[in-house]
């Protein structure tokens, strides 16, 4: 059996590892555009701030390919898929045949059309290469601007601040982490970053990056310019779906897949940031875009590719854990409630001083979202209740109490085993 995997990040590497376990004899080939062993994209900020070396980012170890007996082709782009003849054409001119193909092509930074984006010293924050570029610039830079207060932008800002660089984050929305947290949770994280010395400017769009030749600052719509020797653009990502699209497979914002992670073409699967999912908590279709989802999808795709059917459904797009400076935070599922009455949604929340904030979003007796800031203990237990769509009506009065725990379900189902998204809706009713 010949398996070909395009991409060596979370989904691609996981699929390779599971395919090897499932089929000790298989010929498994990974083709990746990047160089070196698989590295953790989520950890590049710790390289940028100098706390980790490149080899410490290798989440499958430096000798992953040899250990798992993979053919590992790096620095090569897959240019085209010939689904009818079951092969892919690579940038080095080679044609590689497959029996089963996995597209784990990931995502790329999405950069808006800001004047000056082409200037020297304007860097995105998505890859090891970006992190190295920022680390190199940071040697001499005294000031930096970060455009976008999502995870990537704030990770970059924190790394720059740790290096003693005077850093300003500019965000269009009225809060940081607008897609991941609600305003109250975001305010706590914002204070935490400000205590670290990061300056944050909200409700402000960027008019342009100032030159000439190399970046010297950022012009704002209606505030004084921000001086910056280095400009990080972190305005979001988009799925790398083109390979699938050009081959005529079904795509939307990302590659469309079935509940077996199969694309619309036979023998071709897709996993990770390149695909879109139907979010079980909001009902909306969205790019997958989290490490955890990518790994699970890589695993489930591997099983399906090896002929061991495993259904992947009920995925949740927002599953985030973060700690920039001192305050940890977790968000999960539907954290924003645009219109409470219309959606029949109930919100429970709790605060302890100005450092701890917990919120649960309930719909039809089930938890569909959570925000825990400052105290993240047991957040995974609540996450399991969300994933498994457990009816928590009987516990409504004590859902945020300190002693609400897995104990109430002890002896019951094994939440964590095998089917993280299995619907356990009948469990506690």
Partner 1 sequence: MRKLAVNAKDCTGCKRCEQACIAAHSRSGSAARAALEQPEAKTRIFIEYEAGPVPVVCRHCVEPLCVSACMAGCMQKDPATGVVTNQGHEQQCVGCWMCIMACPYGVISPSAEADPAAGAKFAVAIKCDLCPDRDTPACVEACPMNVLSVVDVPDPSAIA
Contacts (CB under 8 A) with partner 1, residues 41-60? 42-43, 46, 51-52, 56, 58-60
Collapsing DSSP to helix, strand or coil, 246 comes out as helix
Contacts (CB under 8 A) with partner 1, residues 379-398? 379-384, 387
Please give the structure tokens belonging to residue 75: 């620095």
Roughly how many angstroms between the first and final C-alpha of the chain, as a whole number? Answer: 46
- DSSP3 helix / strand / coil % (the chain, rounded to 5): 25, 30, 45
111 binds partner 1 (CB under 8 A): no
84 binds partner 1 (CB under 8 A): no
Q: Which of 401, 403, 408, 364 is nearest to 384 (CA)?
A: 408
* Nearest to partner 1 of 77, 325 (CB atom): 325
Q: Which of 139, 338, 342, 410 binds partner 1 (CB under 8 A)?
A: 410
Q: Check whether the bond before 212 is cis (ω within 30° of 0).
A: yes
416 binds partner 1 (CB under 8 A): yes
Q: Which of 322, 360, 368, 373 binds partner 1 (CB under 8 A)?
A: 322
Compute the C-alpha angle 94/100/101, nearest 5°: 60
* Shortest spacing between CB 405 and partner 1, in angstroms: 4
* Nearest to partner 1 of 46, 363 (CB atom): 46
* Shortest spacing between CB 403 and partner 1, in angstroms: 5
Q: How does DSSP assign 167-219, residue by residue?
A: EEEE-SSSSSSTTTS-HHHHHHHHHHHHHTT-EEE-S--EEEEE-SSB--EEE
Separation between Cα atoms, residue 282 and residue 369, nearest integer Å: 9
| Contact call for residues 303 and 15 (beta carbons, < 8 A) | no
Residue 134: C-alpha distances to residues 14, 120, 187, 299 (Å): 28, 12, 27, 33
175 binds partner 1 (CB under 8 A): no
69 binds partner 1 (CB under 8 A): no
Total number of residues binding partner 1 (CB under 8 A)?
Answer: 51
40 binds partner 1 (CB under 8 A): yes
Per-position x/- string for 358-377, each x denoting binding to partner 1 as judged by CB under 8 A, each - no binding: ------------------xx
Q: Which of 234, 335, 346, 321 is nearest to 281 (CA)?
A: 335
Indicate if 42 belongs to the active site: yes
| Contact call for residues 312 and 387 (beta carbons, < 8 A) | no
Compute the C-alpha angle 351/352/356, nearest 5°: 75
Beta bridge partners of 219: 208
Q: Which of 35, 95, 323, 429 binds partner 1 (CB under 8 A)?
A: 323
Per-position x/- string for 243-282, each x denoting binding to partner 1 as judged by CB under 8 A, each - no binding: ----------------------------------------
292 binds partner 1 (CB under 8 A): yes
Q: Which of 378, 393, 394, 429 binds partner 1 (CB under 8 A)?
A: 378
Site of tokens 């779906």: 241
296 binds partner 1 (CB under 8 A): yes
Q: Which of 320, 333, 363, 369 binds partner 1 (CB under 8 A)?
A: 320
| Contact call for residues 209 and 117 (beta carbons, < 8 A) | yes
From 4, 13, 28, 42, active-site residue = 42
* Nearest to partner 1 of 140, 417 (CB atom): 417
Secondary structure E strands in 211-284: 217-220, 226-227, 230-233, 237-239, 268-270, 276-278
345 binds partner 1 (CB under 8 A): no
295 binds partner 1 (CB under 8 A): yes
Catalytic residue positions, numbered: 42
Query: Residues in the site for partner 1, rule: CB under 8 A?
Result: 10, 14, 21, 40, 42-43, 46, 51-52, 56, 58-62, 291-292, 295-296, 299, 319-323, 328, 330, 332, 376-384, 387, 403, 405-408, 410-411, 414-418, 420
């Amino acid at each position: 059996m010949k398996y070909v995997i395009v991409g060596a990040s979370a989904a691609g590497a996981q699929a390779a590892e599971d395919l090897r376990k499932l089929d000790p004899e298989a010929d498994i080939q990974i083709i990746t555009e990047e160089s070196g062993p698989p590295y953790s994209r989520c950890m590049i900020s710790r390289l940028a701030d100098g706390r980790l070396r490149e080899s410490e980012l290798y989440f499958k170890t430096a000798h992953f390919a040899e250990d798992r007996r993979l053919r590992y082709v790096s620095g090569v782009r897959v240019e085209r898929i010939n689904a009818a003849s079951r092969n892919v054409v690579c940038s080095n001119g080679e044609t590689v045949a497959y029996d089963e193909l996995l597209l784990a092509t990931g995502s790329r930074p999405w950069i808006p059309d800001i004047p000056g984006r082409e200037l020297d010293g304007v860097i995105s924050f998505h890859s090891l290469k970006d992190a190295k570029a920022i680390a190199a610039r940071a040697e001499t830079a005294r000031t930096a601007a970060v455009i976008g207060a999502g995870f990537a932008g704030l990770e970059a800002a924190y790394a720059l601040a740790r290096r003693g660089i005077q850093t300003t984050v500019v965000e269009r929305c009225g809060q940081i982490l607008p897609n991941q947290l609600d305003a109250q949770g975001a305010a706590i994280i914002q204070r935490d970053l400000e205590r670290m010395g990061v300056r944050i400017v909200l409700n402000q769009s960027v008019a342009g990056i100032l030159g000439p030749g190399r970046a010297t600052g950022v012009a704002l719509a209606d505030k004084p310019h921000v001086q910056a020797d280095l400009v990080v653009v972190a305005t979001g990502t988009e799925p790398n779906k083109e390979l699938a699209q050009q081959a005529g497979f079904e795509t939307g914002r990302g590659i469309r897949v079935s509940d077996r992670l199969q694309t619309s073409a036979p023998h071709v699967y897709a996993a990770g940031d390149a695909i879109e999912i139907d979010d079980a908590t909001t009902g909306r279709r969205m790019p997958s875009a989290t490490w955890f989802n990518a790994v699970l999808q890589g695993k489930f795709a591997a099983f399906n590719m090896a002929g061991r059917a495993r259904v992947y459904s009920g995925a949740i797009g927002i599953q985030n854990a973060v700690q920039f400076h001192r305050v940890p935070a977790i968000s999960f599922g539907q954290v924003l409630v645009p219109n409470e009455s219309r959606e029949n949604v109930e919100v429970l929340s709790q605060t302890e001083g100005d450092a701890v904030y917990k919120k649960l979003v309930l719909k039809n007796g089930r938890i569909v979202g959570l925000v825990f800031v400052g105290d993240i203990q047991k957040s995974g237990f609540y996450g399991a209740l969300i994933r498994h769509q457990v009816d928590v009506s009987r516990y409504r009065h004590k859902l945020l109490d300190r002693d609400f725990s897995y104990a109430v379900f002890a002896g019951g189902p094994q939440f964590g085993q095998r089917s993280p998204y299995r619907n356990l809706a009948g469990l506690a009713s």
